[in-house]
Structure 1
Amino acid sequence: MRLPLILLFVLLRSCIFASSVFLIKNPVDGLVPCHPQHIQALTQFKNEFDSSGCNQTDYFNGVWCDNTTGEVTRLKLPEGCLRETLSSNSSLFSLDHLRYLDLSYNNFNSSVPSELGNLNILEVLILSSNGFIGQIPSSFSNLSQLFFLDLSHNELTGGFPLVQNQTKLNYLDISYNHLSSKTLYPKSSLFMLHHLRYLDLASNNFSFSSIPSEFGNLFRLEVLFLSSTGLTGQVPSSFSNLSRLTKLSLDHNELTGTLEPISKLTTLDFLSLSFLKISYPFDLNLFSSPKSLLVLDFSCNSISPDSLKTGCGITQFPNFLKNLHNLEHINLSNNNISGKVPEWLWKLPRLSALALVNNSFTGFEGSVELLVNSSISFLDLALNHFKGPFPNPPHSLKSLSAWNNSFTGNIPLSICNRSSLDLLDLSYNKFTGSIPPCLSNFQSSLIAVNLRKNNLEGNLPDMCYDGALLRTLDVGYNRLTGKLPRSLLNCSRLRFLSVDNNRIKDTFPFWLKALPYLQALTLRSNEFYGPISPSDQAYNNFSGSLPPDYFVNWKASSLDEDGRLYMEDNSSALYVYQDTIDLQYKGLKMEQAKILTSYSTIDFSGNRLEGPIPESIGLLKKLIALNLSNNAFTGHIPLSLANVTELESLDLSNNQLSGTIPKELEKLSFLSYISVAHNQLKGEIPQGTQITSQPRSSFEGNAELCGFPLKGSCFRTIAPPMQQQEQDKGEEVLNWKAVAIGYGPGLLLGLLLGQVMASYRPEWLIKITGLYKFRNR
């Protein structure tokens, strides 16, 4: 399969650089046909970085050389295999015949070297998603041959880049940086780029006092993204000059005038006006002109002075949409639209994605069969007031999200007849009946199922067979009974499993440890019994002790790295699904969204666990919350807890722990909640800020515990200084008398024993002192 791909790349590339060929690797002759000096430079460049974990054999597959001279003309090394600093003396800058350079999605985390400006015949430069910091070098003005420049998704600061010499630019993307607007004025070189077709300035720190009318000079523009750029004022009438514009985004800005100039852009197929604050009422029917619209985003808008006070403001369904027959995506989320979803919406012939999240819809016009023949694949109805049975879903449905409504009745069995299903989220409703067993029909596509907080009954059906893709299964807070299906072992990609607050009666499912990617397991408030295994298993009937090495293999939480990785979202263009879990954190029950891939929280509370808390708990360097309350743990509080430096919440209350509270816990600078109440602890409470700031109730129920914030002092009344000195002298005399009294007889006895041991065999002495027994253990 490798050879056809290479040939394809050669053909594609020959359309741009006809005199170059793709570099290939020959096991015998090495890299050909590149010049040996350039091969050496490439090898040196590779060795400048930490590329561990990367496929080394693919490194040179992104290199093209001139067929005649052997000079490197194109270099494409994206995807995270170059880490550390891109230095100013890098061998990269010796490749001065480069015309195409793509280093995107690496991890340099350094400033952009000014030496890049020496590669003055570059035509394409892509440095996106690298963590570059600092300003864009002024030497970039030397790159007069550039027609494609992408610096997006970095941490760049300073003014707008100097582009006065890049008159050939037709693609410019500097989005998602921290650039300011100090040099972006009507006379800016930006507005001299008359060949520009693609411009993305989104998500920077620009703060326009008004939108420059000179945008209208860029009459060749086809794509313009200005979201989150601090735009204020009116949309200038010159926008109507952008007659070739097909995609426009003005999200998250504060416009003060009419949007009428936008309505004249009849060639638009993508229009995003979400989260605008428009202090001028206008007629939404203005946007009925662009008949070619494919994507329309009007989510969360304030379109009148009154609505500015209350947030998002569209209150009626935009009827002009019925005439836009090419629409494929509609997003009207986060508005105040009430009533029923109009019947005509489902008849738009090309509509494939619809998001109506967070409105006040109560139902659907028409019959329950209305949606069946719709072309919709992605449907998001979450956070509304829908009531009654759920209508039969479209045949083309792939993703359904309708959480936090009041749907009743059974989950429609007609969902079983759909060709594929990626996401099913019907949580926080009032569905009854059983879970459709047909969900296993979608094992080649289904990624997430969330039926949490309904009134579902019966057994949890078999969900997976070999090869299933399911990552998330949440059926918590229902009335499910029976046992956990052993077919869950076939869910080899499962990361999140929650069956809490049901009536499941089964032995503890230690067999789930065979699932290699399982990151969160919630079994709280069921009737599980038997030995225990990792994650959140509060309020079951578990009993037994935890072995000392219990936490040794919890690798994800043991990682001592900066930052944390988050569970991948099951997302599409119009929906984002996040796993959530109910936790007891800092003494409060709460819901945590977007679960960390490491075990950030351990909750074993409300069981019958006994024995000492394993010292191996200290290996979990990234642990944030630990709750072992309401068990029967004994022994000391582990000193190793001081190694869990990111710990914020620690609850060891209602156990049988003894000994003192380790003074080392004072080092936990993030610890904001601790409770050791109702144990058998003694001694002084450590006086670190994090501990003494806790309420008295966190330490009560320990009869021999003393010190602030408890009332009792750990020391009796202190004698006056003179009396104390006399007492010390008296004690000193008594101590010497005691030494003398003990020393005399001891010396005599020692001499006597020495004589005996020198003259006789010592077995009798060994037996008397117990040493014989010790040596034979």
Structure 2
Amino acid sequence: MIWSLCLIFSLFNSLLIFASPAKQLCRSDQKNALLEFKSEFHFNGIAANEKTQRWTNTTDCCSWDGISCDIKTGNVVELNLWGSSLNGSLRSNSSLFRLQHLQSLNLSSNNLAGILPDSIGNFKYLKVLKLYGCSFFGNIPSSLGNLSYLTHLDLDGNDFTGELPESLSNLHQLTKLLLASSKLTGNFHHALLNLSELTAIDFSSNQFEGMLPSNMSSFSKLEYFDMSVNSFSGPIPSSLFMIPSLTRLNLEKNIFSGPVEIGNISSPSKLQELSLGGNNLNGTIPGSISKLVGLSYLDLSFWDTERGLVDFSIFLHLKSLTLLDISHLNTRRNNLHISSTLHLPSPIGSLGLSSCNISEFPKFLRTQTGLFFLNISANQFQGHIPEWLWRLPGLGYLDISQNSFSGFEGASDDHFILASDNQFSGNIPTKICELLALETLVLTNNNFSGSLPRCFENFNTTLSVLHLRNNSLSGNIPEEFFSVSLISLDVGRNKLSGELPKSLINCTKLEFLNVEDNEISDTFPFWLRMLPSLQILVLRSNRFHGPIFSPGDSLSFPKLRIFDISENLFTGVLPLDYFAGWSTMSSVVYIAYDKLHRFIGFTFSNYHKSVVLANKGSKMELLGSSFRIYKTIDVSGNRLEGDIPQSISLLKELIVLNMSNNAFTGRIPPSLSNLTNLQSLDLSQNRLSGTIPPELEKLTFLAWMNFSNNMLEGPIPQGTQIQSQNSSSFAHNPGLCGAPLKRSCGEGEEEARKQDEGKEEKDQVLSWIAAAIAYAPGVFCGFVIGHILSSYRHDWFMRIFRSFA
């Protein structure tokens, strides 16, 4: 009966609860603070619909996406708005700071460009702070040292500058300190050694310098240590290898020097990843590296062995090794010894042997059935590629560039083939067309000839990178030639002719298009504006002709960052708003920070992509990361005319502007002073008139300029950047005066006055001479006329006299 009564009472109580109005857990002050915080930003993108858009005043804020509350107090203890398309700065008086009970805050991957306010240090209960990829700039606030409960601090992928605040050494409970991919400077503070709870430290891709402390073993719980891509120098502390918990150590791309001492390792090492490549390390590769038996990833590239013999067998003890990179050993002779009977105990997946001065193909590769990535570029291989190489079942990435291979027979299921800078000749082998999974094909700088294989249409859905630059290929580009998956296409420096195939319009992922130095004869491809991802367009040195503007059509390239149509036959006038829709050149484009890219190891985007541009009066080649930095426009060497479009001043991110060798007229727009990032300006060999706008003095980054061979006049502006130019930059403008020209403006005016006076005197002399010349015939005519009149008058008087008589 007692159990029955309890059950009845429990059911009755439940009914009462369900019958009563739902009570909201969230406190009203917390809800108001969150709603006000939302109102401080503007939103864009789909992500905004997934979180904050569902925040309404009629629902319990503890049920909102990204919100967690303390079930006892109703206080908001977690706010996670990762990737929620927040746009706007985080103000020091933001309502966010009224959420005083927060224990976890994640605003990562939003556009919060601005200063991280000191108010961030007021969250006294905060344990987790994630603000990676938010575009914060300025100094890291020292107030972070007030967060005594903080265990996880992630500020990766911002634009922070200055040194680390020493107050971070107060965070004694901190386990993760992640500050990668910013612009931080200074040394590695010794005070950080007091943070004995740290398991992960990442300062990679900054501007740190100096030496690392020698007693790194005080980080007794450290598992992950990444100082890559900085300017750290001196020896690598051997104490790092003594940390028993360390699994990942990345020191690549610094300026560490000297030999490496691994030291005596008493217990089995847990180290799985060791990256020391891209430094100034020298001496013998230590044999004690074989003690790191748990290594699966080993990068010793760019090690200067000082001509010492490197025996590949030292790696045989590393039975877990799946990635090995010993490229660029900086030897002048064949010092890498690979025995013909060598057999690796473990299947290796990635192997880098680039620039190791080896001439005999490593035979141990025959048995590496799990090999996916092989880079043997920049060695001394000759002749034909071994046929057994193509039969390796797992090979997906093969880089044989910069050798002397001449035979390209065979085919495999490779996804990425890089074979540039060899001695291949004849037609491009049709065997390649059998590689139905091919994603990247780079055959630049060879001697291939003949036409482009029509069988490339087999790659209709797979091929994303096709580079055939600098060969002797001829004929038309087939319409069916392109894969709809193309991201990068380079067929520059060949002998291709005909028109640019309109089937390119189907390549909606295309970012890079280079057809320079061919014999293509076509009108401007207006239809390229339909490609939403196009960033680089190079049509230079062909036979393109006609206008580059079509009335009624907007030429909008929202993502374009390099536009080079120089040395063609383009004509016509550009409207004032020609550059109005070129968004990427107009403003800084926010790119969400992706942390995953830093842990991939070998990347598959390191194919040889290059563009030669005119910059500062000479040719320069862009490679690698330069493409992300440079934003250029080059329309030089055409027949364009009319005024320079005023809309050019909208392109505030422009670095290089070359409009030389055309027929532009009118004045130089003063609004060019809006291009505050401009480094190179060439307006030479046109028909520009008027003065050089003094507003250009504001362009403090403008290191090179050329106004020569125009019809400019007046004084040259006196700004520091302008005055530092050579006089040739202003030559052949008869009306220009002032430094750096030898003709001063005052002397020029006096000379002009004297010339005017001389001209006036000459005019007066000429007038007198003309008058004198005209006087003689006038006198003669006067005598004749007078004689005629007097004779006539005499006869008239005689007739009158006779009539009276």
TM-score (norm 2): 0.72
CA distance in 1, matches of 2:255, 2:742: 57
CA distance in 2, matches of 1:571, 1:607: 45
- Once the two structures are superposed, the pairs formed by residues 43-62 of structure 1 within 5 Å of their partners are 55-56=47-48, 57-58=50-51, 61-62=65-66
Question: SS at the partner of 2:642?
Answer: strand
- Once the two structures are superposed, the pairs formed by residues 406-417 of structure 1 within 5 Å of their partners are 406-417=423-434
Give the partner amino acid of 1:323: L
Instruction: Give 2:133's aligned residue.
Output: 105
CA-to-aligned-CA distance 1:255-291 (integer Å, 9 cap, x gap): 5565011122222211111222355835422222212
Give the partner amino acid of 1:636: R
Q: CA deviation at 1:206?
A: 5.0
Instruction: Give 1:760's aligned residue.
Output: none
Kept in 2: contact 1:628–1:652 (CA 8 A): yes
Instruction: Give 2:768's aligned residue.
Output: none
- Once the two structures are superposed, the pairs formed by residues 58-137 of structure 1 within 5 Å of their partners are 58=51, 61-65=65-69, 71-72=77-78, 74-90=104-120, 93=123, 96=125, 100-112=128-140, 116=144, 123-132=151-160, 134-137=163-166
Instruction: Give 1:422's aligned residue.
Output: 439
Give the partner amino acid of 1:524: R
Instruction: Give 1:356's aligned residue.
Output: 376
Instruction: Give 1:517's aligned residue.
Output: 533
Identity %: 38
Instruction: Give 2:771's aligned residue.
Output: none
1:140–1:640 CA distance, 2 compared to 1 (3 A) = closer
Question: SS at the partner of 1:481?
Answer: strand
Residue 271 (structure 1) aligned to one of 298, 317, 324: 298
Q: CA deviation at 1:52?
A: 6.8
Give the partner amino acid of 1:261: S
Residue 332 (structure 1) aligned to one of 353, 357, 362: 353
Question: SS at the partner of 1:89?
Answer: helix
Kept in 1: contact 2:122–2:146 (CA 8 A): no
CA distance in 1, matches of 2:202, 2:478: 49
Give the partner amino acid of 1:235: E
CA distance in 1, matches of 2:587, 2:448: 41
Kept in 2: contact 1:353–1:378 (CA 8 A): yes
Unmatched runs of 5 consecutive residues or more in structure 2: 1-20, 53-63, 79-102, 550-554, 556-562, 758-805
Residue 392 (structure 1) aligned to one of 397, 400, 410: 410
Kept in 2: contact 1:470–1:493 (CA 8 A): yes
Instruction: Give 1:262's aligned residue.
Output: 289
Kept in 1: contact 2:406–2:422 (CA 8 A): no
Instruction: Give 1:756's aligned residue.
Output: none
1:545–1:100 CA distance, 2 compared to 1 (3 A) = closer
- Once the two structures are superposed, the pairs formed by residues 760-775 of structure 1 within 5 Å of their partners are none
Instruction: Give 1:749's aligned residue.
Output: none
Residue 495 (structure 2) aligned to one of 479, 492, 508: 479
Q: CA deviation at 1:473?
A: 1.4
Q: CA deviation at 1:370?
A: 4.0
Q: CA deviation at 1:670?
A: 3.5
Give the partner amino acid of 2:522: D
Q: CA deviation at 1:245?
A: 2.3
Q: CA deviation at 1:545?
A: 1.9
1:509–1:34 CA distance, 2 compared to 1 (3 A) = same
- Once the two structures are superposed, the pairs formed by residues 378-777 of structure 1 within 5 Å of their partners are 378-382=397-401, 384-395=402-413, 397-462=414-479, 468-533=484-549, 535-559=563-587, 573=603, 576-577=606-607, 579-594=609-624, 596=627, 600-686=631-717, 688-708=719-739
CA distance in 1, matches of 2:573, 2:273: 62
1:78–1:156 CA distance, 2 compared to 1 (3 A) = farther
CA distance in 2, matches of 1:642, 1:118: 45
Give the partner amino acid of 2:459: F
CA distance in 1, matches of 2:578, 2:667: 17
CA distance in 1, matches of 2:111, 2:689: 51
CA distance in 2, matches of 1:234, 1:557: 46
1:51–1:414 CA distance, 2 compared to 1 (3 A) = same
Q: CA deviation at 1:202?
A: 3.9
CA distance in 1, matches of 2:589, 2:434: 47
Give the partner amino acid of 1:520: I
CA distance in 2, matches of 1:292, 1:268: 6
Question: SS at the partner of 1:415?
Answer: helix
1:365–1:195 CA distance, 2 compared to 1 (3 A) = same
CA-to-aligned-CA distance 1:457-483 (integer Å, 9 cap, x gap): 222123688x93322211111111222
1:702–1:199 CA distance, 2 compared to 1 (3 A) = closer
1:528–1:32 CA distance, 2 compared to 1 (3 A) = farther
CA distance in 1, matches of 2:25, 2:431: 60
Instruction: Give 1:9's aligned residue.
Output: none
1:514–1:424 CA distance, 2 compared to 1 (3 A) = same
CA distance in 2, matches of 1:366, 1:247: 32
1:220 aligns with 2:245: yes
Kept in 2: contact 1:551–1:617 (CA 8 A): yes
CA-to-aligned-CA distance 1:728-768 (integer Å, 9 cap, x gap): xxxxxxxxxxxxxxxxxxxxxxxxxxxxxxxxxxxxxxxxx
CA distance in 2, matches of 1:232, 1:46: 54
Question: SS at the partner of 1:506?
Answer: coil
CA distance in 2, matches of 1:253, 1:704: 56
CA distance in 1, matches of 2:43, 2:662: 47
1:342 aligns with 2:362: yes
CA distance in 1, matches of 2:486, 2:492: 17
Instruction: Give 1:762's aligned residue.
Output: none
1:564–1:313 CA distance, 2 compared to 1 (3 A) = farther
CA distance in 1, matches of 2:133, 2:696: 40
Report the more deviating stretch, 234-243 or 57-66. Answer: 57-66
State the Cα RMSD in Å: 4.2
Kept in 1: contact 2:121–2:145 (CA 8 A): no
CA-to-aligned-CA distance 1:50-89 (integer Å, 9 cap, x gap): 8776834436645555666665465444223544344343
1:626–1:322 CA distance, 2 compared to 1 (3 A) = same
Question: SS at the partner of 1:551?
Answer: coil
CA distance in 1, matches of 2:266, 2:479: 58
Give the partner amino acid of 1:265: L
Report the more deviating stretch, 199-208 or 32-41. Answer: 32-41
Instruction: Give 2:390's aligned residue.
Output: 371
CA-to-aligned-CA distance 1:194-217 (integer Å, 9 cap, x gap): 4443333445565555734x4454
CA distance in 1, matches of 2:501, 2:443: 21
Kept in 2: contact 1:448–1:471 (CA 8 A): yes
Give the partner amino acid of 2:490: D
CA distance in 2, matches of 1:313, 1:602: 46
CA distance in 1, matches of 2:210, 2:743: 62
CA-to-aligned-CA distance 1:136-171 (integer Å, 9 cap, x gap): 554655543x55443444426454465677655544
1:648–1:657 CA distance, 2 compared to 1 (3 A) = same
Kept in 1: contact 2:212–2:232 (CA 8 A): no
Kept in 2: contact 1:696–1:710 (CA 8 A): yes
Q: CA deviation at 1:516?
A: 2.5
The aligned length equals 673
Question: SS at the partner of 2:136?
Answer: coil
1:292 aligns with 2:320: yes
Q: CA deviation at 1:293?
A: 0.9
1:682–1:317 CA distance, 2 compared to 1 (3 A) = farther
CA distance in 1, matches of 2:749, 2:357: 73
Kept in 2: contact 1:235–1:255 (CA 8 A): no
1:703–1:205 CA distance, 2 compared to 1 (3 A) = closer
Kept in 2: contact 1:612–1:634 (CA 8 A): yes
